[in-house]
Amino acid sequence: MIKKAKIQDMDVEYEVIHRRVKYARLEIKTDKLRLIMPVNYNKDEEIIKNHEKWIYNKLSRMKASQKEAENKELNFHITDKELMEMVLDYVEKLSNELDVRVNKVYFKRMKTRWGSCSSKKNININIYLMHLPFYLIEYVVYHELAHLIEMGHNKKFWNIISIKYPNYKKMEDELLIYWLLVRKLIDNMD
């Protein structure tokens, strides 16, 4: 169900999704706010009020990134095979730097993220990384390998990231801009 809320100077549409989850959580993918709530839990207005600053900051960042994405284009200069070779080279180099061991690396077309890391020490890499500048591809690989040390996106995780990438917030902003471009590409292919 789509609802509306006023957050500072923004009119925000949000969707409430009830699932079998223990705790309510907020998600913002591209420009959509979703509240994932336990079944029969209906305190969405309270949750929004308690997280108003976070929602405002995220949506403001999203709008700024959408504006920047208008002036950027995706790269089309490497093949799937070249991306795979590059990522495997980065995995070897960066796993030594972090002193971690990867079980397997998988390449997939993913619609919601650049990569992921499993508790079985498998790394999944989005094949759409082929459209990014090389330094961002390396950053994504490092990010996923750092999850072998710390699974969550908590302070400890970001401290690990900041050792090699003190400017990681800028990198994350760039990834968001490219993600908006990739989403447009994916939507046009569907």
Q: What does each of the 190 residues of the chain score in pLDDT, given as a tens digit?
A: 788 888 888 888 898 989 998 888 898 876 678 899 998 888 888 899 999 999 998 888 888 888 888 888 887 889 999 999 999 999 999 999 999 999 999 999 988 889 999 999 999 999 999 999 999 999 999 999 999 999 999 999 999 999 999 999 999 999 999 998 888 777 777 5
What would you measure as the largest C-alpha separation in the chain, in angstroms?
A: 50
- 59 and 120 co-located in one domain: no
Distance CA(166)–CA(122), nearest Å, equals 26
- Which of these three, 15, 41, 69, is where a domain ends? 69
Looking at the structure, tell me whether residues 52 and 128 fall in a common domain: no
Residues 28 and 90 in one domain: no
- Bridge partners of 28, per DSSP, are 33
Residue 13 placed within a domain: yes
Query: Checking phi first, is residue 133 left (phi over 0); if not, alpha (psi -120 to 50) or beta?
Result: beta
Domain assignment present for 48? yes
pLDDT of residue 60: 86
The residue segments making up the domain with residue 148 are 80-189
CATH code, domain with 101: 3.30.2010.10
Q: Are residues 89 and 63 in the same domain?
A: no
Quote the number of domains for the chain: 2
The helix/strand/coil state of 132 is coil
Residue 114 lies in a domain: yes
> Are 102 and 9 in the same domain?
no
Query: Whose structure tokens read 């089309």?
Result: 76
Burial of 23 (0-12, 13-18, 19+ CB in 10 A): exposed
The pLDDT assigned to 12 comes to 86
pLDDT in the model for residue 30: 64
| Final residue before a domain boundary, out of 16, 39, 69 | 69
CB 106 within 8 A of CB 124: yes
In this structure, the answer to whether residues 107 and 177 fall within a common structural domain is: yes
CA distance 26 to 117: 21
- Using the 3D structure, point to which of 11, 35, 69 is the last residue of a domain: 69
Count how many Cα atoms sit within 13 Å of the Cα of residue 27 in the half-sphere of its side chain: 12
Query: What is the pLDDT, as a whole number, of residue 143?
Result: 97
Q: Please, which residues have CB within 8 angstroms of residue 93's CB and are 6 or more apart in sequence?
A: none
43/123 same-domain check: no
The reply to whether 74 falls in a domain is no
Residues 181 and 87 occupy one common structural domain: yes
Q: Is residue 75 included in any domain, yes or no?
A: no
Q: In this predicted structure, what is the pLDDT of residue 31?
A: 64
